[in-house]
Amino acid sequence: MDKEVFSLCFMCSVRCPIRVKVKDGHVDWIEGNQHVAGIEGSLCPRGSAGKSMLYDDQRVQSPLIRVGERGSGNWRKASWDEAIDYVATRIKEITDENGGHSLALCERTQLATHVSKTFLKALKSPNHFTHDALCKGSVNTACRSLFGYNDGQIGINYGNTKNIVLYGRNIFESIALKEVNGLMKALENGAKLTYIDPRVNITASKAHRYWMIRPGTDLALNYALIHTILKERLYDAEFVSKWVHGLSDLQEFVEEYTPEWAQKETGINADEIVGLARQISKDKPSVIFHYGYRGASHTNEIYMRRSILMLNALMGSVEAKGGIFFKKGPGEVGGKAARKLTAQEFPKIDVPRFDKVGTPDFPLPDPNHGVAQIFPHAVLNEDPYPIKGLIAYRMDPLMSIADTTQTRRALDKLELIVTIDINYSDIAWYSDVILPESTYLERTDCIQQMNGLKPQMYMREKAVEPRYDTMDGAMILKRIAQKLGIGDYFPYESMDELVDWQLEGTGFTREDFKKKGFVAYGADQIFWDKNNIPFKTPSGKIEFKSSLLENAGFESFPEYEPVPAPEAGKFRLVVGRSALHTHVSTQNVPYLNELESENVLWINTGKANELGIKDKDVVEVTSACGKGQIKAFVTDLIHPESVFMLHGYGHQAGRAKRSFNKGLSDALIQENVYDKIGGSPAYHDTFVSVTPL
């Protein structure tokens, strides 16, 4: 029998709305949900490959318990009853002896995150941590320092923008579909795009203005832009005088950071910097300085992200059409959000988090996410206490935290590693137990609350029955919880019941999602009155002079520290994504692997000639913490100070045969250093030497 199901893609975390056509119990076709504005049927390459992932036999097919050494790949099949019993028994032993806090759970934030948070809270462990700090920890902190809202509560109105500046935000390859479609619409309507990156990528090729910046110096560029905007009074005076706290402090601070000074630091011509400031101010407030995710990734990340947000405030583009806006929830229109299990009462936890976030040692990162890259340090040093067990749920610390060798040493100290995954990821391969989750096409999931200009809810609905002996994540955790005697926190027997529980009191039912795949609380876009924006900072204003930073003992405007050039023969290693893969997840998916199966090292032609490296030669890349081999891509399209590779390659799980040992893992080479204020890792603060073999 044929049917069509509205659901949510999960080939990456963006979760675009999709329509799945099913024939005789098989997925026949996947396309974007045509009812959703900004999607209208479109899908990215990874979304289109969902079927290839579903019908791939090289994913985990049943629960597995390790029989050989960790990482040796010797497994025995187990039934769900046995696997759940085994995991619950081991968790009980560990937490009875060492306390609930000796168990940690890491996860890439997803729809069932409220379930895993509940699991840890019920066990009295504060040690839930997500991918967030690895991705944009300092962006989150910077947003809170200026607006009192985190980055997740802020959106970008691409479709109506007139002028946009992207700092290494490689939007046409590091994709979120709605953003791409929105920006394309704006470009068709005449918007101007400036792209800044030490590397010429697809986004650079679509820009009106491209600057090959010296890697790591975006902050210097921004100080010069701010200098020019203030000196020439190019800012939105009305907005700034109403909302900005600390303008005169900023003015005094940027006095010395002239465009001529920035030219020396960044390599960007001073006249061009002035030219951008003048041009973009003509389009205010419908302009965007994109605060990004990754791009620059350095120990001073917090100040770089703050400087971008300040540029938006100076242009008055905050809560403006074609600028950045605060996301509106159902409460704005008298509606109710879906319930979360975390709203229950839990036992009090009286120990700090493993990463000390929220204590004077690490006051500013977001405790809802924690700081993942501290995990290896905390385990190895037993600081603040010994951690004995880890559940890795849709996150791979081995490939996603810098310095894999160090992370593996930390994992070796653990008594229990359990992975909930769909693939033979590197962390699954290194675990004691693998609990396979059903893929997104085989499972119904928790409700997606989508706050934005128009608050909505979406639902992931099962399209086909699971092909293998797999289970939904929220059911796996519930069953372990039952064995541990904390089952009462999980008041459902199936995913449908959990969704019904979430929807209680919202006025919507599961049936309502069947028509279009989503429900909307109202029809109109909501912008707040610009004279009445409820900033959540202590002053109620946009805090250039930040009480969040200063109360914690940090400066709002620390002096700029010049970015060192690499020593002779060395390069700054920078990394990024490809349009064809998601992080470390999809390299083994047949269709995607066929299109791109290996990463290469971009190296500047002049530098390659000096080193005697020719295109496609295999080279060795060496840092202070690791080394590996990779093919060279010799090109003029990269700044001579940096070399670049795609993230996500160099997998070590033997049963994922297509991706096994293909290319090189950036995490093996990168040092685990980070922004000690904002929380982001400094992935781009590793210097490497490159030698021909």
* C-alpha–C-alpha distance, residues 419 and 391, integer Å: 6
Backbone angles phi, psi at 546, to 5 degrees: -100, 120
Element (H, E) at 192: strand 192-196
The entry of Mo ion, ligand MGD, ligand SF4, none near residue 473 (CB within 5 to 8 angstroms by kind) is ligand MGD
- Contact flags string 447-486 toward ligand MGD, x per CB under 6 A: --------------------------x-------------
CA distance 398 to 96: 28
397 touches 158 (CB < 8 A): no
Please give the DSSP secondary-structure letter assigned to residue 674. B
Residue 43's binding partner, choosing from ligand SF4, Mo ion, ligand MGD, none, with beta-carbon cut-off 5 to 8 A by kind?
A: ligand SF4
Minimum Å gap between C-beta 639 and ligand MGD is 9
Residues lying near Mo ion in the complex (CB under 5 A) are found at: 135
Give the integer Cα–Cα distance in Å for 551 and 545: 11
Among 6, 7, 11, 690, binds ligand SF4 (CB under 6 A): 11
**Nearest residue to ligand MGD on Cβ basis:** 168
Considering the complex, state which of residue 368 and residue 448 has its C-beta at the smaller distance from ligand SF4.
448
Asked if 169 interacts with ligand SF4 (CB under 6 A), we say no
Of residues 592-631, those binding ligand MGD (CB under 6 A): none
Task: Tell whether residue 182 is a contact of ligand SF4 (CB under 6 A).
Answer: no
Binding residues for ligand MGD restricted to 353-392, rule: CB under 6 A: none
- Strands lying side by side in the sheet with 456-458: 448-450, 456-458, 518-520
Sheet with 17-23: strands ordered across: 2-8, 17-23, 26-32
Stretches 43-51, 273-281, 346-354, 617-625: which one binds ligand SF4 (CB under 6 A)? 43-51
How many angstroms separate the CA atoms of 85 and 566, rounded? Answer: 53
Helix (H) or strand (E) holding 407: helix 404-413
Q: How far apart (Å, rounded) are the C-alpha atoms in residues 169 and 218?
A: 12
Which residue from 246, 292, 367, 640 is in contact with ligand MGD, where contact means CB under 6 A? 292
Shortest Å, Cβ 168 to ligand MGD: 2
Tokens at 144, concatenated = 């809170």
Least separation, in Å, of the C-beta of 191 and ligand MGD?
A: 18
Q: How far apart are CA 415 and CA 433, in angstroms?
A: 12
Contact 18, 12 (CB under 8 A): no
Q: Counting contacts by CB under 6 A, is residue 30 touching ligand SF4?
A: no
**Shortest separation between residue 77's beta carbon and ligand MGD, angstroms:** 19
On whether the CB atoms of residues 146 and 310 are closer than 8 A, the answer is yes
For residue 16, the partner it binds in Mo ion, ligand SF4, ligand MGD, none, with Cβ less than 5 to 8 A by kind, is: ligand SF4
Residue showing the smallest CB distance to ligand SF4 in the complex: 47
Opening angle at CA 684, ends 223 and 641, nearest 5: 80
Question: 122 vs 77, 477, 530, CA distance in Å?
Answer: 29, 12, 43
CB atoms within 10 A of CB 26: 13
Binding mask 536-575 for ligand MGD (x = CB under 6 A): --------------------------------------xx
Binding status of residue 154 toward ligand SF4 by CB under 6 A: no
Selection from ligand MGD, Mo ion, ligand SF4, none that 9 binds (CB < 5 to 8 A by kind) is: ligand SF4
**Interatomic CA distance for residues 301 and 141, integer angstroms:** 10
Residue 170: contacted member of ligand MGD, Mo ion, ligand SF4, none (CB under 5 to 8 Å, by partner type)? ligand MGD
| Binds ligand SF4 by CB under 6 A, chosen from 5, 6, 7, 16 | 16
42 binds ligand MGD (CB under 6 A): no
Across the beta sheet with 416-421, the strand order is 75-77, 64-66, 433-436, 416-421, 389-393, 103-107, 128-130
- Judged by beta carbon, residue 390 or residue 542, the one nearer ligand MGD is 390
Phi/psi for 245 (5° steps) reads: -105, 115
Q: Determine which residue in the list 579, 611, 625, 673 makes contact with ligand MGD, applying CB under 6 A.
A: 579
Could you tell me how many residues of this chain bind ligand MGD (CB under 6 A)? 60
Q: What is the DSSP letter of 437?
A: B
User: To which residue do tokens 């540029």 refer?
Assistant: 311
Question: 10 Å Cβ neighbour count for 459?
Answer: 26
Task: Work out whether 54 is an interface residue with ligand SF4 (CB under 6 A).
Answer: no
Give the range of 38-46, 115-123, 335-343, 486-494 binding ligand SF4 by CB under 6 A: 38-46
Question: From the list ligand SF4, Mo ion, ligand MGD, none, which binds 647 (C-beta under 5 to 8 Å, kind-based)?
Answer: ligand MGD
201 binds, among ligand MGD, Mo ion, ligand SF4, none (CB under 5 to 8 A by kind): ligand MGD
Q: Give the 3-state DSSP-derived string for 321-356, with helices as H, strands as E and coil as C.
A: CCCEEECECHHHHCCCCCCCHHHCCCCCCCCCCCCC
Site for ligand MGD in 423-452 (CB under 6 A): 423, 425, 437, 439-440
Rounded Cα distance, 218 and 212, in Å:
11
| Percentages of the chain per state (helix, strand, coil), in multiples of 5 | 35, 20, 45
436 binds, among Mo ion, ligand SF4, ligand MGD, none (CB under 5 to 8 A by kind): none
Q: What is the spatial distance between Cα 421 and Cα 436, in angstroms, rounded to a whole number?
A: 5
- Residue choice 5, 6, 12, 575 for contact with ligand SF4 (CB under 6 A): 12
Strand, coil or helix: what is 642? strand
Q: Which amino acid belongs to residue 533?
A: I
One of 15, 19, 108, 460 touching ligand MGD (CB under 6 A): 108
- The two beta strands, 154-156 and 433-436, are unpaired
Considering only the stretches 183-191, 196-204, 266-274, 521-529, report the one whose residues sit in contact with ligand MGD under the rule CB under 6 A.
196-204
Least CB distance from residue 158 to ligand MGD, whole Å? Answer: 14
Which residues form the interface with ligand MGD (CB under 6 A)? Answer: 10, 12-13, 108, 131, 134-135, 167-170, 174-176, 196-199, 201, 213, 215-216, 218, 292-296, 393-396, 400, 402, 420-423, 425, 437, 439-440, 473, 574-577, 579, 581-585, 644, 647, 666-667, 670, 683-684
Which residues form the interface with ligand SF4 (CB under 6 A)? Answer: 9, 11-12, 14-16, 43-44, 46-47, 175-177
